[in-house]
Structure 1
């Protein structure tokens, strides 16, 4: 696939935007050379995309830090936090509406395909987000994967996000960075109070999270407040960073005062609200049991799949794909001696086989980390067989902080910063080693690292800023599942058929998600029924499933995007193979998808169509 890139200085970009406007408004546009118009328009489009990107980061400055673009004229973003108040969210929505109008109005004629894709991506993401902001409650993702009706709950809220963000992403290299750290801490009480206003508003509408989620959130909040009282969230982190740089520790003393005082007090106000909610909460797990819940779920499903599929259609597809995957698992199970019972029952039996368990406690945790490291090295060496355009990810494997593990999934991962200074990370849940097995941990590693999330993110980070910011759930997660498939096709499980079972069960697990998520939020399923479906039909580990189901309750729709996205990518590959015949090339197809960047499903189809049209032969 041929890449066309335009290197622009800021002055050139501004000049291009001005030239585009001038040509459009003057009577000389008709007499201007077509190539001059196209060049000016391309420069103007790049400048517009840059402006749109930084306008978004004005509202989410933490993303600027995570991407490594809070530098130069944008260094002030390093000292700011997102305004979580109702007014702040309204201002965010107003910016999106303004920039959506600008993107829609920009002339498309003469633009290259990559720039057209970027404009299409922004238009799709912003249109979707604006609909989310119009809902009366919840936390709307903008180019993100989290569809959260509850602003503070067991896996949502700044009480979880800010400690992790400050510890992982806020670097201290000089006095300005230390000042910015303190300024962010000074802003935290207002951030927590902004969230508090929103969850109180929601309770006033009758929107209260399920009791079992509140129980988890209350326990985590209590632990967070206790840590704040000891200076363990921010002050200790800042002190360690200052010591590492040989800098005075006076800022850490200020941080300790802020943490134990105003920050802990603001968190306590949130805790009191969560307890008030718990007093009136029910155990109904689905968003449909809340006011305007069906409307929220309709939007959340659209956000999570970037399609117009109905809950019934998603539910039915999940059941069909689950049956197909179990049909592939059955002969492998029989081949290793598991012949009696359903596929789910046999996978449950396999999960109890001591040969595939890790040791308990810290020895097992160390064993897991070593296992992951070995698999990462293996898959890195295979990438020239799967891609023409290669990257070398800067990445690390980290344990999910113990304070978050109870409400967290088994693992998650993502790319590093745009400037490469912050590595991509594979976060692994090690609250118990029983969450993982030797036959499924390799597959999980490929999903989160290479060729999955970390690998894909390296390509997105090469695109214009706004494209590095905007991500779409079915592409992000569909690509990670496709990465699992690539690993299998490269021989990851040759001679280790039980490992292929882990891979296929992973895909089946995601098909189950389509069934369970729609069951919970559109078909009146109970939490117990959702857990039982995973354990009985797919043989999933109960310790893993319970937290998974709770996650679906707090992020309606999000879980449906994984397998749906994977199926769409595989369908596009089959299309390319059919249309190109002998001209089809495995590496070229993979390049076409990943170099196109993170896109909605309709834009993915356009990118593959361009690859097919441009393929030699």
Structure 2
């Protein structure tokens, strides 16, 4: 057995004697700052000012960030009226800001800082160094402290046509007349944002940097839905009108005019450009087929995993971990009467069992949302045994908009605003209830919501603001995968062997990702080979994995961060257990991981070393 897994009994035996019993929802407590002492010093005061300035500079070019944090007030009130610039000039301004602030962060003598500030400065350095490497390549969108790099400006899951309407609906609060006017202002800026992307799309096409034909087809269909919505006064208008019923003003007619006269034509210009590109596009799925594609993929892997692992190393690792996980699934399947065929074949048979399916249509969709709510209550109840400091886990379950669902994953999630007014989101894809099963949804809820993305994100609220903004894919997704593991270790599936199979299949799914992502981009696999690998080897739902594989084509490397990150967290946990012996407590380890914030994996190792040293001294 690898270091990536320990038994539930072994993990909890090392959690210390003083565990907290819980029978209901975990009580919320404010997240504490990292435990490392922070002496008041001139060096730390200067670092505080620098970190605050870095955050302000970021939000000046990304006003949506200030809104998502619900701090677009007072001196930042103007931010609520604007959208970020997605043109080439806007990209260049962002790169210049990153370059300038990286130089300032590099000049800091971190040896004079507290552990907490040292970590924050290292986070800025790492995120901005990586971003500048991305800006040096002739490709799409660079994740500056985010989880996704995309070589294509607009595709089935990238572009303002997806991001901005969703942002306006969920993060742009409308509580008064000024907020409504700001919504209209942003809606009026959306065409410029779309046209900024259009210019970059055309420039990329001139360099033969176009998406695969099958991604273009999806994007064109989704853009068509968005354009129709804008022309018909659909969701992009009703999002405002339903929130202004008690605010005097002609909000509906104004939003309808903007959407119909300016937004819809801008969307149609993008459709026309993608249609033109489609004529020259191929179905080659991988970056290997694009100019400088091998260099881009090497960068994407480094950015997504925060390691120097090569594509070949990651591919082999995925195959080995998949075999190990299937070895754990085999006896459970046999105990349920599934004895014949490979693990993948038996999981496909399990998926057909009507006991684990939801109803068809809207009835099934409602069942899914209710089921998620029930499972989240169960998971909240066990968390005091895994964390000494609890956060609220403020969230709502939302359906992925119809205009996005075809190209979207099965689900995604993240935290809300620090003041709690904007709840975290667990976005669930409900294009068909057959996407989900009753044995896979509990694990999905743990990953996206609690104790996964929503839960972890709330701990960053106690850190400098830039730490809430900047994130690293390997940590974010590694934590969410570790969260799935925690739920199993805490006994949630002890009387639910089919639920445990769902958890193990999910982890195996992430091992498959290591194989398929590298297979497509480095080993010249086709899209169809990628889909078939999931279906045959892991028994995955073909409806789900078709969109999954398309996502790997548009976000190269991103899918590799999950398993790499989880493995590293578990390896560090084993190191802490061995070093601390009787002083080890699971709650303290998990607190050290989440309270240190979202970091590259090498910085996470330093944070755990600091936790070990502090615990030894205690």
Describe the SS at the equivalent of 1:339: coil
1:226 is the counterpart of 2:228: yes
Q: 1:307 aligns to what?
A: 307
Contact 1:397 1:427 in 2 (8 A): yes
Cα RMSD (Å): 1.4
Contact 1:239 1:249 in 2 (8 A): no
How far is the alpha carbon of 1:419 from its aligned partner?
2.2
Q: 1:465 aligns to what?
A: 465
Equivalence map 1:389-428=2 (5 Å): 389-428=389-428
Equivalence map 1:471-482=2 (5 Å): 471-482=471-482
| Cα distance in 2 between the residues matched to 1:250 and 1:192 | 25
| Cα distance in 1 between the residues matched to 2:75 and 2:615 | 42
| Cα distance in 2 between the residues matched to 1:61 and 1:579 | 45
Task: String of CA shifts for 1:405-426, please: whole Å, max 9, x gaps.
Answer: 1111001110001222100110
Contact 2:33 2:462 in 1 (8 A): no
Q: 2:3 aligns to what?
A: none
Q: 2:176 aligns to what?
A: 174
| Cα distance in 1 between the residues matched to 2:354 and 2:242 | 41
1:235 is the counterpart of 2:231: no
Task: String of CA shifts for 1:543-595, please: whole Å, max 9, x gaps.
Answer: 11101000100100000001110001001001111111222111111111111
Q: 1:214 aligns to what?
A: 216
Describe the SS at the equivalent of 1:569: helix
TM-score by length of 1: 0.93
Task: String of CA shifts for 1:148-189, please: whole Å, max 9, x gaps.
Answer: 111111110001111111111111122221221121122111
Q: 2:167 aligns to what?
A: 165
CA distance change for structure 1 residues 213 and 199 in 2, over 3 Å: closer, same or farther? same
Higher RCO (CA 8 Å, separation ≥ 6 residues): 2
Q: 2:46 aligns to what?
A: 44
Task: String of CA shifts for 1:283-311, please: whole Å, max 9, x gaps.
Answer: 00011111111111111111110111111
Contact 2:467 2:597 in 1 (8 A): yes
Contact 1:42 1:111 in 2 (8 A): yes
CA distance change for structure 1 residues 6 and 46 in 2, over 3 Å: closer, same or farther? farther
1:532 is the counterpart of 2:532: yes
How far is the alpha carbon of 1:522 from its aligned partner?
0.5
Contact 1:322 1:508 in 2 (8 A): yes
Contact 1:416 1:423 in 2 (8 A): yes
| Cα distance in 2 between the residues matched to 1:360 and 1:254 | 38
Describe the SS at the equivalent of 2:247: coil
1:80 is the counterpart of 2:82: yes
Q: 2:110 aligns to what?
A: 108
Contact 2:36 2:115 in 1 (8 A): no
Contact 2:33 2:463 in 1 (8 A): no
Describe the SS at the equivalent of 1:425: strand
| Cα distance in 2 between the residues matched to 1:309 and 1:115 | 28
1:192 is the counterpart of 2:194: yes
Describe the SS at the equivalent of 1:280: coil
How far is the alpha carbon of 1:110 from its aligned partner?
2.9
Describe the SS at the equivalent of 1:241: coil
How far is the alpha carbon of 1:251 from its aligned partner?
3.2
How far is the alpha carbon of 1:374 from its aligned partner?
0.7
Q: 1:28 aligns to what?
A: none
TM-score by length of 2: 0.93
| Cα distance in 2 between the residues matched to 1:361 and 1:551 | 25
| Cα distance in 1 between the residues matched to 2:337 and 2:504 | 18
Contact 2:493 2:499 in 1 (8 A): yes
How far is the alpha carbon of 1:3 from its aligned partner?
3.7
Aligned residues: 586
How far is the alpha carbon of 1:249 from its aligned partner?
3.1
Q: 2:325 aligns to what?
A: 325
Task: String of CA shifts for 1:487-508, please: whole Å, max 9, x gaps.
Answer: 1011110111111010000000
| Cα distance in 1 between the residues matched to 2:544 and 2:129 | 35
Equivalence map 1:143-542=2 (5 Å): 143-243=145-245, 246-542=246-542
Q: 2:20 aligns to what?
A: none
Describe the SS at the equivalent of 1:457: helix
How far is the alpha carbon of 1:109 from its aligned partner?
3.6
Equivalence map 1:577-592=2 (5 Å): 577-592=577-592
| Cα distance in 2 between the residues matched to 1:5 and 1:527 | 47
Q: Which segments of 5 or more consecutive residues in structure 2 lack a partner in the other structure?
A: 1-31
| Cα distance in 2 between the residues matched to 1:39 and 1:480 | 36
Describe the SS at the equivalent of 1:546: helix
Aligned match for 1:133, one of 135, 140, 154: 135
Task: String of CA shifts for 1:260-292, please: whole Å, max 9, x gaps.
Answer: 011111111111001001111100001111111
| Cα distance in 1 between the residues matched to 2:554 and 2:55 | 28
Contact 1:318 1:514 in 2 (8 A): yes
Contact 2:37 2:115 in 1 (8 A): no
Q: 2:16 aligns to what?
A: none
How far is the alpha carbon of 1:527 from its aligned partner?
0.7
Contact 1:60 1:81 in 2 (8 A): yes
CA distance change for structure 1 residues 4 and 496 in 2, over 3 Å: closer, same or farther? closer
Task: String of CA shifts for 1:202-257, please: whole Å, max 9, x gaps.
Answer: 000011111111111111111110110011143221111111xx112323322211
| Cα distance in 2 between the residues matched to 1:504 and 1:202 | 41
Describe the SS at the equivalent of 1:426: strand
CA distance change for structure 1 residues 482 and 413 in 2, over 3 Å: closer, same or farther? same
How far is the alpha carbon of 1:2 from its aligned partner?
7.8
Contact 1:384 1:390 in 2 (8 A): yes
Contact 1:137 1:198 in 2 (8 A): no
| Cα distance in 2 between the residues matched to 1:172 and 1:437 | 36
| Cα distance in 1 between the residues matched to 2:613 and 2:185 | 53
CA distance change for structure 1 residues 320 and 270 in 2, over 3 Å: closer, same or farther? same
Equivalence map 1:63-74=2 (5 Å): 63-74=65-76
CA distance change for structure 1 residues 571 and 193 in 2, over 3 Å: closer, same or farther? same
Contact 1:418 1:468 in 2 (8 A): no
| Cα distance in 2 between the residues matched to 1:276 and 1:498 | 48
CA distance change for structure 1 residues 180 and 528 in 2, over 3 Å: closer, same or farther? same
